[in-house]
Amino acid sequence: MSSVTETRGFRSLFTLYLPLTPYILFALFPLYFMVVTSFKGNSELYDPTTVPFWIGRGVTLGHYNMLGEETLFWSWFANSLIVSIASTVISVVLAILAAYPLARLKFTGASTFGVAIFITYLVPPTLLFLPLSNVINWLGLSDSLWALIVTYPTFLVPFCTWLLMGYFRTVPKEIEECAMLDGCNRLQTMFLILLPVALPGVICAALFAFTLSWNEFLYALVFVSPAELKTMTVGIFSELIRGDIYYWGGLMAGACIGSLPIVVAYVFFLDYYVSGLTSGAVK
Amino acid sequence: MQLKPANGDLSALNAPAAPRAGALGELLYRDAPVAYAFIAPSVLLLLFLVAYPFVLSVWFAVSDARVGDTGDFIGLDNFVRLLGSSIFQQTLQNSLVFTAAALGAKTVFGMGLALLLFRVARFKRLIRGAVLLPFIVPTALSTLVWWWMFEPLYSVVNWTLKYMHIVDHDIPWLPDPYLAMFTVVLVNTWRGLPFFAITLLAGLVAIPRELYEAAEVDGASAFGRFWHVTIPLVKPVLGVVILFSAIFTLSDFNIVYVLTKGGPMNMTHLFATYSFALGLQSGEIGQGAAVSLFLFPILLAVVVVQLRQIRKATMYE
């Protein structure tokens, strides 16, 4: 948009792209190393005389095959998918419903509800996992995927509501007023008029909800213990590290596949991620 | 979908909010009932799964609850015992060091990165995308590769340092208490830097170009423009970013749990990991809850400051 054009050419090479290089290397090297390790054979991996930065003795899919054959990796993958999709759908629907009146309607207690949502948005999951595990037990949901589908919305709904409120406010009120003059009721204006216009916001909320649930670690670690019900993040960490034996190749292969869905979504929807990230803090 | 009455009554057009069809129809044209009905599901969810657990956590903290036992009221015993325990004192100190160091690093390097990104004209999307990547990859998984990079025997970091003849022996990154703290701060900075950079970048973009031009006309140097134009105008955004990050850095669990589990010798325990160790691994739910409640004061402070900012913003609107 408003990029500065003065720093073009040779000079910008030294004042701009050179200082940027360490930042980009710092950001990308660990991810690059993750991929390299996952395709490297064990003999090369555990040989300190070889150069670790690339693959010298041939690419192998052994670690990836091991994941499928010797671990429950694909069950964890499926569990993550089920939990993330379910909690995303629940959260986005609840958030659309809550964000609409908070952004648009006049009613007693509107600001109180807004503040309450904002406060829950800031409560870190690490503050609540102990009592929540009691509530989950009491509901009879522990050791099932439901434990996660029910608890993930506790941090997704506040986040998505906050995000959507911002988007809804940018839509001119007049569009809705016109629709209501034409005889649409609130529900109809919301679904037929506002939501199509605010669709980028809904996509953004859904992307973030999916990413946050896919990446979640603590609740998944605490609420679900049977190996076959674990999600990806917990499964890789707790089932591939047994005592003092680390399967680094397998661990990295798992980390690669586990990150892939998010990275793919990210590549396609980069702009949504950027706008979602900044909407919370810049307003 | 057309609810407009077909009888062509012109008076209905003059009274848009007039009731159309029946009691339910009428409700859907008024604000308050719709509002309460729409908010209800979220409020119920948050009451039951955030507010109630929070109250429960306060109860645990003042009780001797253990696994499978709701416990009895014991007043502030848990807090007294914690404050007297050397592990908790260490945790308190670790949390302060970890948060201060990580926030400091993220602020300085994040600001530097934002200023660079602001000037990038070529490959803008590609560079932003690359820099943001650590933030969206699952932390529990990306921390595994950091662990592998600092693994005692095959560390790529040590390999490089030895290859370049900077050191002649393996550096014990994770077994050494101080280096372990350095490592968890480093990984937290790696993950959190993009949030700082991208948000500050949005703040920089929002500064009107005219201000810089005016400052230049007045003879301000590049540093003068940065100090007297950029910093004051980006300060509100910077404040919000630091506050947000303060909560999420202080309450960090994933990085420390995966890399060090709080060790060596409890030197990297944070509130969250120590609460986990006490409450779930030792079954001392009361003490575990008391530890996690230490996160609450900072949370409260951030909420108060944030709300004041939002009030101010709405007053100016």
Report all structural domains of chain A as residue ranges with CATH numbers, in order of start.
Answer: 9-60 (no CATH), 71-279 (1.10.3720.10)
Confidence band for A275, pLDDT divided at 50, 70 and 90: confident
- Residue A84 in contact with residue A213, Cβ under 8 Å? yes
**Per-window interface: A 239-278 vs B, CB < 8 A:** 246, 248, 251-252, 254-255, 258-259, 262-263, 266-267, 270, 273-274, 277-278
CA atoms within 13 A on the CB side of B191: 25
Q: Over the stretch B77-121, which tens digit does the pLDDT of each residue have?
A: 899 999 999 999 999 999 999 999 999 999 999 999 999 999 888
A16 contacts B144? CB cut-off 8 A:
no
Mean pLDDT computed over every residue of chain A: 89
Full set of structural domains in chain B with CATH: 10-51 (no CATH), 81-316 (1.10.3720.10)
Quickly count: other Cβ atoms within 10 Å of residue A32's Cβ. Answer: 13
Residue A109's pLDDT is what? Answer: 84
**Residue A221 to residue A233: CA distance in whole angstroms:** 9
Confidence band for B299, pLDDT divided at 50, 70 and 90: confident
**Residue A28 to residue A17: CA distance in whole angstroms:** 16
Q: What is the mean pLDDT of residues A9-15?
A: 78
A183 contacts B247? CB cut-off 8 A:
no
- Residue B130 in contact with residue A24, Cβ under 8 Å? yes
Q: Over the stretch A116-153, which tens digit does the pLDDT of each residue have?
A: 888 888 888 889 999 999 999 999 998 999 999 999 99
Residue A9's pLDDT is what? Answer: 67
Q: Hey, what amino acid is at A1?
A: M
A127 contacts B54? CB cut-off 8 A:
yes
Nearest to A128 among B50, B127, B142 (CB): B50
Looking only at the bridges linking them, the beta strands covering A245-246 and A241-242 are antiparallel
* Cis peptide preceding B264, ω within 30 of 0: yes
With 80 as the cut, is the pLDDT of residue A244 above it? no
**Residue A8 to residue A6: CA distance in whole angstroms:** 6
Q: How near does any CA of chain B get to the CA of A113, in Å?
A: 8
Percent of chain A's residues with pLDDT above 70: 94
The complex's ipTM works out to 0.91
Q: Over the stretch A163-198, which tens digit does the pLDDT of each residue have?
A: 999 889 888 888 888 888 888 887 788 888 888 989
**Per-window interface: B 201-240 vs A, CB < 8 A:** 202-203, 205-206, 209, 237, 240
B156 contacts A278? CB cut-off 8 A:
no
With 80 as the cut, is the pLDDT of residue A259 above it? yes
A161 contacts B118? CB cut-off 8 A:
no
Residue A81's pLDDT is what? Answer: 97
pTM for the full predicted model: 0.89
Q: Over the stretch B245-269, which tens digit does the pLDDT of each residue have?
A: 998 999 999 999 999 999 899 999 9
A100 contacts B136? CB cut-off 8 A:
no
**Residue B73 to residue B65: CA distance in whole angstroms:** 9
Q: Over the stretch A20-34, which tens digit does the pLDDT of each residue have?
A: 999 999 999 999 999
Q: Is B178 or A48 the better-scoring residue by pLDDT?
A: B178
With 80 as the cut, is the pLDDT of residue B244 above it? yes
